[in-house]
């Protein structure tokens, strides 16, 4: 089984407040005096299932399949603080010592054989169909301006469709169409579009579980619409609330983490 990782700057979720109560089971938030939901509130509620706490850690495992055969696999220790600070530690032996750091709209990768971190972008490939931003940028509400596009049933589940336009430089994608369940505002599906307007990826949010009284995403699947037969799964385990020192989110501190 071949393992491949981003080791240079050449390549190539999800937003709002973290969950603050028990597992979400509320219906979509509606605008006052209207039956239509408020798209900003709907997006923020959708993000709650992708973000456990204000400061937490999670193990992310990425597996890439081509025509059903596993080709690549990588594990990453992800530390997230607020909407704009993420530190990703590469765990596989052949890339040990590498880190990816996101700070507001900037992102860097650090490798032990380089003197300084290298500036990269969220859109660049991490592994398989997963971009750097698919791991590091988990709060859509911080990155996108939502509008309500319509309604549609996905696999028998009634959903609202939100159109998300990037509102900040650090957003991973230019535009996203997001399907969220009417019943509880969980994300169900996303279609990703490039600046050219081309349909680039489709993401399915597959499974959720109640962890520490919070309903959290445990697996999503990414299909590359430009490469037939390509499928990437991202699984999330070991969610743990943890206060992460501020110094870890400093690019000049990365070499001290080895």
Report the pLDDT averaged over residues 74-100.
94
pLDDT given at position 26:
43
pLDDT given at position 256:
85
Q: Are 81 and 55 in contact (CB under 8 A)?
A: yes
Q: Is the pLDDT of residue 254 over 70?
A: yes
**List of E strands, the chain:** 55-66, 69-81, 85-90, 99-103, 106-110, 118-120, 125-127, 130-131, 144-154, 157-166, 175-181, 187-193, 199-211, 214-224, 230-241
CA-CA-CA-CA dihedral for 187, 190, 194, 197, to nearest 10: -120
Q: How many CA atoms lie within 13 A of 181 on its CB side?
A: 18
Q: Are 49 and 206 in contact (CB under 8 A)?
A: no
Q: What is the pLDDT of residues 102-118, one digit of tens each?
A: 999 999 999 988 878 99
Report the pLDDT averaged over residues 135-155.
94
Q: What is the pLDDT of residues 146-198, one digit of tens each?
A: 999 999 999 999 999 999 999 988 899 999 999 999 999 999 999 999 999 99
Q: Read off the pLDDT band of 101 (50, 70, 90).
A: very high
pLDDT, the chain, mean: 87
Report the pLDDT averaged over residues 65-71.
97
Q: What is the pLDDT of residues 17-53, one digit of tens each?
A: 333 334 443 445 554 445 778 999 999 999 999 887 9
**Closest residue by Cα to residue 201 from 180, 221, 171:** 221
pLDDT given at position 169:
86
pLDDT given at position 34:
52
Q: Is the pLDDT of residue 12 over 80?
A: no
On whether the 39-251 domain is CATH 2.50.20.10, my answer is yes
pLDDT given at position 48:
92
Residue 108 burial (C-beta neighbours within 10 Å; 0-12, 13-18, 19+) = middle
Q: What percentage of the chain has pLDDT greater than the value 70? A: 86
Distances, alpha carbon 198 to alpha carbons 150, 192, 193, in Å: 21, 9, 6
pTM for this prediction: 0.84
Q: Are 217 and 211 in contact (CB under 8 A)?
A: no
């Amino acid at each position: 089984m071949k393992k491949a990782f981003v080791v240079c700057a050449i390549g190539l979720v999800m937003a709002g407040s973290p969950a603050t109560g028990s597992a979400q089971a509320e219906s979509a938030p509606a605008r006052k005096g209207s039956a239509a939901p408020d798209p900003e509130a709907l997006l923020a509620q959708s993000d709650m299932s992708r973000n456990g706490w204000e400061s937490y850690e999670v193990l992310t495992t990425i597996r890439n399949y081509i025509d059903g055969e596993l080709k690549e696999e990588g594990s990453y220790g992800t530390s997230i603080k607020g909407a704009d600070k993420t530190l990703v530690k590469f765990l596989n032996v052949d890339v040990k010592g590498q880190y990816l750091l996101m700070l507001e709209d900037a992102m860097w990768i650090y490798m032990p054989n380089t003197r300084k971190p290298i500036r990269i972008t969220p859109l660049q490939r991490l592994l398989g169909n997963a971009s750097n931003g698919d791991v590091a940028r988990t709060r859509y509400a911080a990155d996108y301006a939502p509008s309500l596009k319509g309604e549609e049933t996905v696999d028998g589940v009634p959903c609202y469709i939100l159109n998300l336009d990037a509102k900040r430089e650090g957003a991973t994608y230019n535009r996203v169409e997001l399907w969220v369940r009417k019943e509880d505002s969980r994300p169900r599906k996303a279609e990703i579009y490039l600046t050219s307007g081309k349909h680039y990826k489709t993401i399915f949010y597959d499974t959720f579980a109640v962890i520490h009284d919070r309903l959290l995403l445990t697996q999503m699947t990414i299909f590359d619409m430009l490469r037939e037969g390509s499928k990437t799964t991202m699984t999330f385990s070991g969610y743990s609330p943890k206060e992460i020192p501020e110094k870890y989110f400093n690019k000049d501190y990365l070499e001290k983490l080895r």
